[in-house]
């Protein structure tokens, strides 16, 4: 018998809260910190233990489900058939290490490539954002309103300063007019939090030239459920199996930025 999405949802919410509790209770302990691809690409024992915790729970209950996790303890996922959990055990590891805040657990649950459940848990503030396709997005159980359009001059844009300096991924001059004309810019250091801040109206758009699927899998389910738009920087559909640029925004604003600043992807 295949499990219902409602049942999966109930377990997922329970496990993400438990994982958050484990992270909070680890705060007094010394972290074991290592670098991955470069000296600023960090991972801790808590990132690893949290991912392992989810895998144990999911595989123990749903052995047929596949898991794509950042720290590599899950499956080698090359297709999105069946139920796939896309997990970032700690999104914002640098913040977790340096600030002990501004990080989140992110879980997107897909069925045959369609986003069904999105969970992002801001562990320190005990804020659980939860999307269930077709039923809305909730913050600690309270439904969030649909996203309404807004102009660039009234908008706060989530954007890391790196992308308007010389870099390998984007012409720096592309985004500087947007930075000048927007009401303001912010950078929170956690893609998952930037996405829930968009979902809850704290910011109006978020632009980044490179993310992995576990950074955005949950967030885009929430944003689309609320009528927002999620694409790459060229306005194309996001690829959940590969790294990608990501551009999410309120409806209307997405089109305005894509056309007037991102030049419809022609750069």
**Which residues contribute to the site for Ca ion (CB under 5 A)?**
70, 88, 90-91, 215
115-136 b/e (C-beta count within 10 Å ≥ 16 → b): bbbbbbbbbbeeebbbbbbeee
- Is 38 marked as binding a ligand? no
Long-range pairs for 229-238 at CB < 8 Å and ≥24 separation? 229/254, 229/255, 231/258, 233/170, 233/207, 233/209, 233/262, 233/265, 234/262, 234/264, 234/265, 235/262, 235/264, 235/265, 236/265
Q: What phi and psi values does residue 145 have, to the nearest 5 degrees?
A: -70, 160
Nearer to Ca ion, 215 or 225 (CB): 215
Is 100 a binding residue for ligand IPD by CB under 6 A? The answer is no
Binding mask 38-77 for ligand IPD (x = CB under 6 A): --------------------------------x-------
Nearer to ligand IPD, 215 or 225 (CB): 215
Q: Residue 139: which H helix or E strand, with range?
A: strand 136-139
Nearer to Ca ion, 38 or 173 (CB): 38
Nearer to ligand IPD, 25 or 37 (CB): 37
Nearest-approach distance from CB 212 to ligand IPD, in angstroms: 6
Is 224 a binding residue for ligand IPD by CB under 6 A? The answer is no
For residue 200, give the nearest of 120, 93, 116, 134 by alpha carbon.
120
Q: Which segment (198-206, 207-215, 228-236, 250-258) binds ligand IPD by CB under 6 A?
A: 207-215
Given ligand IPD, Ca ion, none, residue 211, with its beta carbon under 5 to 8 Å by kind, binds ligand IPD
Q: Which residues on neighbouring strands pair with residue 186, listed in sequence order?
A: 158
Name the site residues for ligand IPD (rule: CB under 6 A). Answer: 70, 88, 91-93, 189-191, 208, 211, 215
């Amino acid at each position: 018998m295949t499990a219902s999405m409602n049942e999966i949802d109930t377990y997922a919410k329970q496990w993400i809260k438990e994982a958050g509790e484990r992270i909070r209770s680890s705060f007094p302990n010394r972290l074991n910190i290592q670098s991955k691809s470069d000296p600023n690409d960090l991972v801790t024992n808590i990132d690893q233990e949290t991912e392992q915790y989810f895998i144990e729970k999911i595989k123990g209950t749903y052995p047929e489900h596949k898991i794509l996790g950042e720290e590599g303890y899950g499956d080698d996922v090359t297709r999105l058939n069946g139920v796939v959990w896309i997990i970032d055990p700690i999104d914002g590891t640098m913040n977790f290490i340096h600030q002990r805040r501004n990080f989140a657990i992110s879980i997107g649950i897909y069925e045959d490539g369609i986003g069904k459940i999105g969970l992002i848990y801001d562990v320190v503030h005990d804020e659980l954002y939860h999307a269930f396709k077709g039923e809305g997005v909730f913050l600690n159980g309270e439904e969030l309103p649909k996203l309404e359009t807004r102009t660039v001059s009234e908008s706060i844009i989530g954007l890391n300063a790196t992308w308007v300096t010389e870099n390998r991924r984007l012409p720096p001059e592309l985004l500087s007019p947007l930075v000048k004309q927007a009401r303001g810019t912010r950078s929170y250091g956690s893609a998952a939090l930037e996405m829930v801040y968009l979902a809850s109206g704290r910011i109006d758009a978020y632009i980044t030239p490179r993310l992995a699927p576990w950074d955005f899998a949950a967030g885009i389910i929430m944003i689309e459920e609320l009528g927002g738009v999620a694409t790459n920087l060229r306005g194309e559909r996001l690829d959940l199996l590969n790294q990608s640029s990501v551009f999410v925004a309120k409806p209307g604003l997405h089109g305005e930025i894509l056309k007037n600043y991102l030049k419809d992807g022609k750069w």
